[in-house]
Structure 1
Amino acid sequence: MKYKDIIEKMTLQEKAYLMSGKDIWQTKEIERLGIKSIFFADGPHGIRKQAAAASKLGLNAGFPATCYPTAATVANSWNIELGEKVGEYLGDEALSHKVNVLLGPGVNMKRNPLCGRNFEYYSEDPYLAGKMAAGYIRGIQSRGISACVKHFAANNQEKRRMSIDAVVDERTLREIYLTAFEIAVKEGKTKAIMTSYNRLNGSYTNENMHLMQDILRKEWGYTGTVVTDWGAGNDRVAGLLAGNELEMPTTRGETNEEIIEAVRSGRIQEEQLNECVDRLLDLIFTTEEAFQKPYLKFQEERHHRVSQKVAEESIVLLKNKDQILPLKFGQKVAVIGDFAQNARYQGAGSSLVNPTILDHTMDCFEESGLVSIGYEPGFDRYGKTNKDKIEKASKLASQADVVLLYIGLDEVTEADGLDRHNMKIPANQIELLHAIHEVNPNIVAILSCGSAVEMPWIDQVKGLLHGYLGGQAGARAILRVLSGDVNPSGKLAETYPLRYEDTPSSRYFPGGETSVEYREGLFIGYRYYDTANVEVLFPFGYGLSYTTFDYSDIRVDHHGVTFSLTNTGKVAGMEVAQLYVGCESDAIFRPAKELKGFKKVFINAGETKTVTIPFDDKTFRYFNVKTNEWEIEEADYRIMVGASSADIRLTGKLWVQGTGAPLPYDKHKYPSYYSGRVANVPVEEFEHLLGRQVPVSTWDREQPLGYNDTIEQCQYAKGVFGRFIFLAVVFAYWFLKKIGKRSTANLIMMSVYYLPFRGINRMTAGIVTMPMVDGLLLMVNGHFFKGLIHLIRAFRKSKKRPGTGLEVPAVE
């Protein structure tokens, strides 16, 4: 152990004391041993250090900080060095705000386009997500503080996230849902990892011994700290046994007592606790060192310009009919859409950043060199049709050479804690588009949203520029692309299907009442569309430029692939060259192609550059469920280099020697997986893949409600009080939506409706004790007065109870 001398001086009480938070955002300190409290803050794309007191839980306003483009946006840059630069600037701001641990990046896969938190995640591809995350981590940690990769693992939906069981076969788990975390650990060397709320194959992730011990600690060799997501703790002792050092937020000493009792009873050996303490001390001491060195307060203007540069490189040009872009000198432009006046630049929820500066399109228009003849909002932001606004917008559009139409999703549609209901742009915006098209066909749509949307209206626009969620400088960045000052170089990090029903997981998302089955297996995103030959709107890796590129002279050997890349256009630009690999053997089912490398290259007009993309340990591997190891199948492999997954420009072939592992599958049992047509996998076939029966996905309505049952389940409660609570929550949600308080209504769903009863204790930072929760459960289960008396007694007892946890008697 690294801190053995300190740990030997600690009492059992003090060791247990360190294992949960001091308050909402800080760890505990032990002054006599020089152990300081460290501060955590949300921060995937900007520091959200809450201005409210650290003892108050909630989505309070943060101190001003630079709001950088979200992960979903920066992933479109395909530029690892750029991600690392963002990380460095985030690290600088963390130092300025006295933040030790930045809670990000998020590397969960975009399994389904409706996941409400997709804006906060990089990609549907684990290789791209892992490489981008590793860059961020290196940048953040270069400043001496810690990143905290999240949410480990298989947290791919927001609905019922605190209770849902993700049912995933082992190979899919390893190849798709854990690979990005593996890269973050091995290449990014993250000092901290945050576990997710959900269960994985039956057990909560922070208690899952296979995930936490077999894979994270033993196979990957991770020696850093594991922290729960806020309020995610279930069985504290089980979590500690699995190697989950820190439970956040505070539990006011309640779970400390559980740890002490577990040591006393022999359920935990004190040596195991010591190891957890050692790893947490390492996080505390190493991040505190950063504040002992001189550092500068970050410069807001400089960081704002960096945010703009990142946004510029991440914007994706999706359509450019008749070369309508870049806009020509002297063209009269009408600016229409509420998002032009009030930029949509970030997601909602725990990642909400209070920007230092905020650019809006109309404020930046004059400096862009474009000639605006006027602005009209055209639509109400939150979905109501306004005929008067449409008429005014149409009148303005009829007078313009080109219409810039700013459309997208509003702030409360994409949010932490909730999934989207569909993939559509709001109907009132499309109604506006139709009206404008009748008077002027020269429309350039500027799309602002953090995830994939359906576009049945795309034939009515000549140009389509997707800014995603470009951060506080995103509006100015978009204008620079429209004007031609910046040549767009972004490429999609996710596939855009023609319609939601084409998504391979659409039948299985968001699952049943208790579980969600990952029946599509390996075949998410382009892995499915390219293998099953399903037509898409825009393929993975797609993006246009104001110039053109030619690929030639491919050379393949066992070290990698080399080729020539020529800018055949008239302006300089950047191209993202993508390496895909496909196995020609059909002995083991695999996607037709998988991303195994990429490189972003700047090339002047007429210039040719030689590009090399090396192979690595992930190029040919697959996970063999018989050997429980990564193996290589001996076969010929197609080596493909292209501008997107659907635009392969060069191909080669390479024979690769295998590891000689036995074949893991009986081909006849897996017809869906061998064909790649996994949109409707029979349960029997999925059970073959799982190696066990699929768990029952419905609640047991006959059993009394317990700690891990939710407020939603109170509709089936045996007690009138329970059903009343359910109806009250549903009414509050309906009423708030009715009066236009959508954000507050969403908070009700996220923080109350889907909350397990144990979460009442965890999410209130221990203010509501577990004995008080016991009283509530008695009340909802039909024992109202007995439960009420129990609740009152527990409440009175909690008032007398020390809040720090240090007052628990020490065991020497």
Structure 2
Amino acid sequence: MPTDDIAPFVKSLDLPAKVRLLTGATAFTLAPEESIGLGELRFSDGPTGVRGLKFSGGRVVSLFPNATLLASAWDEDTAYEVGRLLAEEAMAQQIHVVLGPTINLHRSPLGGRLFEAYSEDPLLTGRLAAAYVRGLQESGIAACLKHLVANESETDRNTVDSVVDEKTLRELYLLPFEMALDAWTMMAAYNDVNGVAATEQHHVINEIVKDTWGYRGLVMSDWFATKTAAPAANGGLDLVMPGPAGPWGDALVAAVQSGEVDEAVIDDHLDRLLLLAKRVGALGAERSWPSSLPAPDSGVRRDQLTRLAATGITVLKNDADVLPLSPTSSVALIGRHAVETIDMGGGSAQVNPPYQVSVATGLGELLGDLTVVDGVEVRTRPVPARDGFLTDPATGDPGIRVVLYDAAGQELEQRFCAQARTMVGMDDDFPESATTAVLSGNIAVSGEVELGVLGVGDWKVAVASASAALSYSLEASGSGFGEEVLTPPLRTDRFTVAAGDLFTATVTLTTPMGLFGLIGRAASRETVDVIDEAVRAAAGADVAVVVVGLTEEQETESVDKSTLHLPGAQDALVEAVAGAARRTIVVVNAATPVIMPWLSRVDAVLWAGLPGQEGGHAIAAALLGTIEPAGRLVTTFPAADAATPAWSVTPVDGKLPYTEGTFIGYRGHFAGRAAEPAFWLGHGLGYGKWEYTDVRLITGDAPAVTATVTNVGAHPSREIVQVYLRPVEPDEPIRLVGWTAVNVAPGESARVVVQTDSRLWRRWDTNSGSWSRLADGGEFLVARGLGDIRATVS
């Protein structure tokens, strides 16, 4: 029922007015209602930055490190700071709700969207999410926990039925939502759960979240996820996004009038919406917004984002202390990711940053003797032109010009697109009468190049110096929902051009919504030539640093991976360099696990995640030790494809069974349900060396463990003391129950206390439908990751 102070507003509206407010007004806004003092509410995607109200081509905003990299700090203060900084980014745009954090778990390492989520562990995820939410909402900006629930993969994401037993659902996948329950909103997922759509989940949304947990916040749908009127409304969904069209509206009004939905249900949904509006300052007196906040390209943001990224970077291997690098070393920097560092994943996590610093730029600012060599090709799909390859014919600025025409050939609008792409439909303001778009840009280089287009439609492509135009149609494959926006079709061809040539592409629009752009890049070289050049450079330097990784082809919304191996010939590149170099350091520019067949033949490995707009500065700082890369892995790295407790993300007859139960990730590996991994959750060397002594247990309802840690290394370092519980019950997996971090100077010691979390001491009894406590008699493992256990106490 409505709360006392909001009830009069709810009562004053008739049924159609109430229902109208429960569907978005646009792609990212909610409708105002002047009669009750309700202003417009503005939402923005937010996994790695607050993009604003446009999916593509919006304002310039800060690009943060991705979630797995931020989580690798294992630090609630870091998560809180990220929330606070994102609140600043939101306030600068007058955004009320940031759609994050993503708190689904890393069930299978194939999940394409894992880069948005913190970890495979529910405790680590929940504690970090709660801190992020606190940092964001202290400024009056709502957080949104997503995606409720069992939404760990992207294959057939709109139809897949995640089959999860109640024990696993409660103990693993719902736990982070329970821990971060102070968030003012949640988002229901695309998938089904045990045969019922996530947007219609009476059991999860009503019985658990709203009734058992007493949640007073709002539950919204993922975009276009809602399929029904009455079942979704009765199932606990409060808000359908986006709008203005959708399955509610007149259909929901009719369902109430027919008695299929009680109007009290509508009132509860509206009450939650108005409570959200009150919390973010959109109900009653209009909130004031700060007039001065750090700009995305400010020195303040540079320092913050560099530090946040660098502290999460993780040292996986460091033989003979080859790291940190000496600034006087001669270095051969090798790899496509070195010159085109990947700083963000694909899909709704993408933003429009002011710049993206490559590793080549970052190291170049710190080293006097640096040779940079491009690497092998890492993509199968070219991306829109970048780095000034195309320039606007009207202004000369890096980017392209887009001109729209109606059916009569009348010009409707011109716009400049700095990202060499533009959006039609959904959140864009393209005139509906537009039937044709002309995209153009001047080519900045001479010689053989690859040019092309992306987007659904009928295309004509011409280059000023080419003898003939090309014509073809590009159609969506039908392989997934939102393909026209997330993975639009493309085509490229090779041309020989002169600098300044005009590249023009005319598309007849055949879809009401899609992403369109121009592709331009230098023609690719033969792999053998690239590797030969890399080997020569490596042989002539003191150290070779090879940067390898994934791209948004693998780490993206809507698509899962099929393998953990690096794309292209990157493994061959590393092998060849390691055979020629005196010392070889590999930097892995990827957010999720990769297979490293060359691991034994290189001296050091840094895992760098997707480090955001300051990525090159952060990686350089980590390599030279000006900021310690003190990260610890948030996901177990398997030693081979399929060598993990949960692997397949492909539904069979529409169903994806979570057969591993609560034994995901490190839990299953430790129980022998999968082979020994390459690296365990919690692994990370930093630049210190550690001794553990005087480990003791403090008993109680939620016991604590104390230990003395001594830094016996040569560098100041941050240690993360991890405590795992191995229950006495044979059907219960090992689980992380607490951790504490401490900074210690060389030769110094610190006494740490790790308090365990009582929620990890319980188990769900399916027979009784209630929680019970684990039996006494288990063991605590005190560790630097489960691959480096330092003490066991009972």
TM beyond 0.5 = yes
Q: 1:159 aligns with which of 139, 155, 158?
A: 155
Q: Distance in 1 between matches of 2:309 and 2:641?
A: 27
1:336, 1:393 within 8 Å by CA — same for their partners in 2?
Answer: yes
Shift of 1:569: 1.5
More strand by proportion, 1 or 2?
2
Q: Please tell me the residue identity of whatever aligns with 1:649.
A: R
**Quick one: structure 1 residues 373 and 635, their matched pair in 2 at CA, closer, same or farther if it must change by over 3 Å?**
closer
Q: Distance in 1 between matches of 2:8 and 2:326?
A: 71
* Equivalence for 2:670: 530
Q: Distance in 1 between matches of 2:219 and 2:745?
A: 46
* Equivalence for 1:590: 732
Q: Secondary structure at the match of 1:597?
A: strand
Deviations 1:128-186 (A, max 9, x none): 0111111111111111010111000000110101001001111011111111111111x
Q: Please tell me the residue identity of whatever aligns with 1:115.
A: G
1:378, 1:392 within 8 Å by CA — same for their partners in 2?
Answer: no
* Equivalence for 1:201: 194
1:169, 1:521 within 8 Å by CA — same for their partners in 2?
Answer: yes
Q: 1:10 aligns with which of 7, 13, 22?
A: 13
Q: Please tell me the residue identity of whatever aligns with 1:428.
A: A
* Equivalence for 2:245: 252
Q: Distance in 1 between matches of 2:202 and 2:308?
A: 39
* Equivalence for 2:646: 505
1:114, 1:421 within 8 Å by CA — same for their partners in 2?
Answer: yes
Please say if 1:100 is aligned against 2:242.
Answer: no
Q: 2:371 aligns with which of 367, 371, 374?
A: 374
Q: 2:108 aligns with which of 106, 112, 132?
A: 112
Deviations 1:275-327 (A, max 9, x none): 11101011112212683254533333212211111111100011111221111
1:441, 1:460 within 8 Å by CA — same for their partners in 2?
Answer: no
2:69, 2:591 within 8 Å by CA — same for their partners in 1?
Answer: yes
How many equivalent residue pairs? 638
Q: Distance in 2 between matches of 1:68 and 1:373?
A: 27
1:66, 1:357 within 8 Å by CA — same for their partners in 2?
Answer: no
2:92, 2:290 within 8 Å by CA — same for their partners in 1?
Answer: no
Please say if 1:571 is aligned against 2:569.
Answer: no
- Cα-Cα RMSD: 1.6
Q: Distance in 2 between matches of 1:631 and 1:17?
A: 44
Equivalent positions of 1:685-704 (< 5 A) are none
1:359, 1:472 within 8 Å by CA — same for their partners in 2?
Answer: yes
* Equivalence for 1:20: 23
Equivalent positions of 1:48-67 (< 5 A) are 48-51=51-54, 59-67=55-63
Task: Output the TM-score relative to the length of structure 1.
Answer: 0.77
Please say if 1:122 is aligned against 2:113.
Answer: no
Q: Distance in 2 between matches of 1:555 and 1:387?
A: 57
Q: Secondary structure at the match of 2:72?
A: helix
Equivalent positions of 1:476-487 (< 5 A) are 476-487=617-628
* Equivalence for 2:562: 421
Q: Please tell me the residue identity of whatever aligns with 2:724.
A: Y
Deviations 1:27-66 (A, max 9, x none): 1111122111101100112011144xxxxxxx41231111
2:103, 2:126 within 8 Å by CA — same for their partners in 1?
Answer: yes
Deviations 1:74-99 (A, max 9, x none): 11110111110011000011010111
Q: Secondary structure at the match of 1:238?
A: helix
Q: Distance in 1 between matches of 2:535 and 2:745?
A: 41
Shift of 1:254: 5.6
Q: 2:49 aligns with which of 46, 50, 73?
A: 46
Q: Distance in 1 between matches of 2:145 and 2:369?
A: 44
Equivalent positions of 1:722-733 (< 5 A) are none
Q: Please tell me the residue identity of whatever aligns with 1:560.
A: A
Which segment is superposed worse, 426-435 or 86-95? 426-435
Q: 2:165 aligns with which of 136, 145, 169?
A: 169
* Equivalence for 1:358: 356
Q: Distance in 1 between matches of 2:59 and 2:138?
A: 23
1:72, 1:123 within 8 Å by CA — same for their partners in 2?
Answer: yes
1:304, 1:357 within 8 Å by CA — same for their partners in 2?
Answer: no
Q: Secondary structure at the match of 1:41?
A: strand
Q: Distance in 1 between matches of 2:261 and 2:563?
A: 47
Q: Distance in 2 between matches of 1:85 and 1:253?
A: 37
Q: Secondary structure at the match of 1:235?
A: coil
Q: Distance in 2 between matches of 1:149 and 1:560?
A: 29
Shift of 1:396: 1.3
Q: Please tell me the residue identity of whatever aligns with 1:122.
A: Y
* Equivalence for 1:264: 257
Please say if 1:228 is aligned against 2:221.
Answer: yes
* Equivalence for 1:412: 553
1:320, 1:464 within 8 Å by CA — same for their partners in 2?
Answer: yes
Q: Secondary structure at the match of 1:77?
A: coil
1:119, 1:450 within 8 Å by CA — same for their partners in 2?
Answer: yes
Q: Distance in 2 between matches of 1:525 and 1:574?
A: 25
Equivalent positions of 1:594-673 (< 5 A) are 594-653=735-794
Q: Secondary structure at the match of 2:783?
A: strand
Task: Output the TM-score relative to the length of structure 2.
Answer: 0.78
Which segment is superposed worse, 267-276 or 294-303? 294-303
Please say if 1:277 is aligned against 2:419.
Answer: no
Q: State the identity %.
A: 32
1:405, 1:446 within 8 Å by CA — same for their partners in 2?
Answer: yes
Q: Please tell me the residue identity of whatever aligns with 1:562.
A: T
Q: Secondary structure at the match of 2:248?
A: helix
Shift of 1:358: 2.2
Shift of 1:555: 2.1
**Quick one: structure 1 residues 373 and 73, their matched pair in 2 at CA, closer, same or farther if it must change by over 3 Å?**
closer
Q: Secondary structure at the match of 1:83?
A: helix
* Equivalence for 2:81: 85
Deviations 1:504-543 (A, max 9, x none): 122x432213110111111110000011173111111000
* Equivalence for 2:331: 333
Shift of 1:251: 4.3
Shift of 1:329: 4.4
Q: Distance in 2 between matches of 1:413 and 1:62?
A: 24
Q: Please tell me the residue identity of whatever aligns with 2:574.
A: L
Q: Distance in 2 between matches of 1:336 and 1:330?
A: 18
Structure 1 unaligned regions, length at least 5: 52-58, 654-812
Deviations 1:377-426 (A, max 9, x none): 02123267522222222211111111011111122221100001211112
Shift of 1:363: 2.2
More helix by proportion, 1 or 2?
1
Please say if 1:520 is aligned against 2:523.
Answer: no
Equivalent positions of 1:482-493 (< 5 A) are 482-493=623-634
After TM superposition, the runs of 4+ consecutive aligned structure 1 residues lying more than 6 A away are: none
Q: Distance in 2 between matches of 1:254 and 1:624?
A: 38
Please say if 1:32 is aligned against 2:16.
Answer: no
1:237, 1:262 within 8 Å by CA — same for their partners in 2?
Answer: yes
Q: Distance in 2 between matches of 1:136 and 1:596?
A: 20
Q: Secondary structure at the match of 2:784?
A: strand
Q: Distance in 1 between matches of 2:770 and 2:62?
A: 43
2:28, 2:53 within 8 Å by CA — same for their partners in 1?
Answer: no
Q: Distance in 1 between matches of 2:15 and 2:107?
A: 43
Q: Please tell me the residue identity of whatever aligns with 2:573.
A: L
Q: 1:184 aligns with which of 180, 185, 190?
A: 180
* Equivalence for 2:481: none
2:531, 2:573 within 8 Å by CA — same for their partners in 1?
Answer: yes
Q: Please tell me the residue identity of whatever aligns with 1:211.
A: V
Structure 2 unaligned regions, length at least 5: 381-523
Q: Distance in 1 between matches of 2:120 and 2:346?
A: 21
Q: Distance in 2 between matches of 1:254 and 1:396?
A: 60
Q: Distance in 1 between matches of 2:610 and 2:287?
A: 32
Q: Distance in 2 between matches of 1:430 and 1:395?
A: 17
* Equivalence for 1:214: 207
Shift of 1:255: 1.9
